[in-house]
Amino acid sequence: MRVVYFTHSLASCWNHGNAHFLRGVLRELVRRGEDVQVFEPAGAWSLDNLLADHGEAGLDAYRRAYPELGSTAFGPDLDLDRALDGADLVIVHEWNDPALVARIGRARAAGGRFTLLFHDTHHRAVSEPDAIRAFDLSGYDGVLAFGETLAEVYRRWGWGERVFVWHEAADTALFRPPAEEGDREGLVWIGNWGDGERTAELEEFLMAPARRAGLPLEIYGVRYPGEARAMLARHGARYRGWLPNARAPEVFAGRLATVHVPRRFYVEALPGIPTIRVFEALACGIPLVSAPWCDSEGLFRPGQDFLFARDGQEMERRLRALAADADLRASLAASGLETIRARHTCAHRVDELMAVAARLAHEKALETVG
C-alpha cells in the first residue's frame, strides 16, 4: 500500500505534538513494508521556530531516533498529480493551508482512486469552529478525530458514520522504560506554555504542590513568556527550555514522577481526550498524577494506571505519597505500562487505520458496482 501524508511538519516537534504520533505511526507502517511518503510545507512555523532557536542541531535527536523517516518540503508550485500518483491512502492533517486541503479533495472527487482522510488532532473545532468549517472537505471520504467528543462535533456537521475515532498513542519503539533502572529524584513536567489557557491550573496542580512537597521540579517546553518564567522562579522550578521529543524517555528515566495538567479546552469542551504526553509517560514507566479530566472513553484505569488529584492540596498529598512509597511508584508504573502495551501503541493505531481504509475502500467498491 502506498500511504501519503500531508503534515504540518514531520521534522519538527517544536510546539507541534502531532509530530510525536505521526512519527510512530509512520515508523510502524514502514516496518510493515508499506510505501510511505510525507509532504510538509516549506516555511512551516514549527520548523522555522526550531531552526531559529537551535539551528540544524535541533534536528539531530529526531534524525537519530527515526532514520527510516523523511519528508518532502513543498511550495505553491507543488505537483499534486505527481505527489498523489499511485497512492492508495492519503491523509491530510488539519494544520495545512485550506487551499491545499481543498485542492487534494478536488483531486479525489475528480476520479482519484485513493481513499482520502482528514486528520484532526486539535481543539479548534470547538475553540475556533469557523476556522475548521472553512475547510472544503466535500471530496473527502472520512475524518479521523482524536477523540469521541471531537468526532461528535463532526457528526453534528453531517459526517455521520464517516468520522472515525483515532486516538493518539505511544511509539513504544522509543518510549519505553530504561533498560536499567538508575537513581530517580524530583519531578518533571514536559509541556508548552501556550496562550495562557491553563496558567492557573499549572500553578495550582504543578508548581505550588511540588514546592510544598519539597520536590525539585524541572520544566521543559516552549513559548514561556517572561511572566511565566517569573512564576516558575517564585516556586523554585527550574526551566530547561525546549526538549526534543525523542529525548523525553531519557528525561523521564531520571525522575520519580510526572504530572499531567490538561488544557482547559480538553476539560470543558472536549472531555475524554488526553494529550499524547500521557501515553508517552506511561509507556516510559514513570508514575503520573493528573489534574482532573474525564476519561469518558475508558482509555485508562484511573487510580491504577495513574492517580487523579482533585485540587492542589490533594496533588501535594499524592506527590508526597509517591516520594515516600517505592511500592506505590512501582505499582503505578507497571500498571500504566501494561495498559499502554495492551491498547495504546502506534501499532494498535496502524491496525485501526488499516481497518478504516479497508472499510471505506469496500464501500467505494460497492458504490462503483452499484
* pLDDT value for 355: 98
307-308, strands of its sheet edge to edge: 238-241, 217-220, 187-190, 257-260, 288-290, 307-308
Cα gap 179→177, rounded to integer Å: 6
Cell digits of residue 362:
469496500
* pLDDT value for 369: 67
Domain 187-343 has CATH 3.40.50.2000: yes
Cα angle for residues 197, 154, 132 (degrees, 5° grid): 55
Tell how far CA 97 is from the center of its chain.
20
* pLDDT value for 262: 94
Count CB atoms within 10 A of the CB of residue 42: 12
CB 307 within 8 A of CB 288: yes
Cα gap 330→285, rounded to integer Å: 8
**Residues 6 or more apart from 180 whose CB is under 8 A from it?**
none
Tell how far CA 270 is from the center of its chain.
15
Widest distance between CA atoms in the chain: 69
From first to last of the 370 residues of the chain, give the pLDDT tens digit.
Answer: 999 999 999 999 999 999 999 999 999 999 999 999 999 999 999 999 999 999 999 999 999 999 999 999 999 999 999 999 999 999 999 999 999 999 999 999 999 999 999 999 999 999 999 999 999 999 999 999 999 999 999 999 999 999 999 999 999 999 999 999 999 999 999 999 977 789 999 999 999 999 999 999 999 999 999 999 999 999 999 999 999 999 999 999 999 999 999 998 899 989 999 989 999 999 999 999 999 999 999 999 999 999 999 999 999 999 999 999 999 999 999 999 999 999 999 999 999 999 999 999 999 888 776 5
- Listed in order, strand segments (DSSP E) in the chain are 2-6, 35-41, 72-74, 89-93, 115-120, 142-145, 163-165, 187-190, 217-220, 238-241, 257-260, 288-290, 307-308
* pLDDT value for 370: 57
Cα gap 286→337, rounded to integer Å: 9
Cα angle for residues 62, 20, 145 (degrees, 5° grid): 155
Cα gap 315→212, rounded to integer Å: 10
Which residue ranges does the chain devote to CATH 3.40.50.2000? 2-169+345-369, 187-343
Whole-prediction pTM: 0.97
CA dihedral sign of residues 94, 63, 27, 240? negative
Cα gap 105→125, rounded to integer Å: 19
For domain 2-169+345-369, the CATH architecture is 3-Layer(aba) Sandwich (3.40)
**Residues 6 or more apart from 152 whose CB is under 8 A from it?**
none
Three-state DSSP class for residue 255: coil
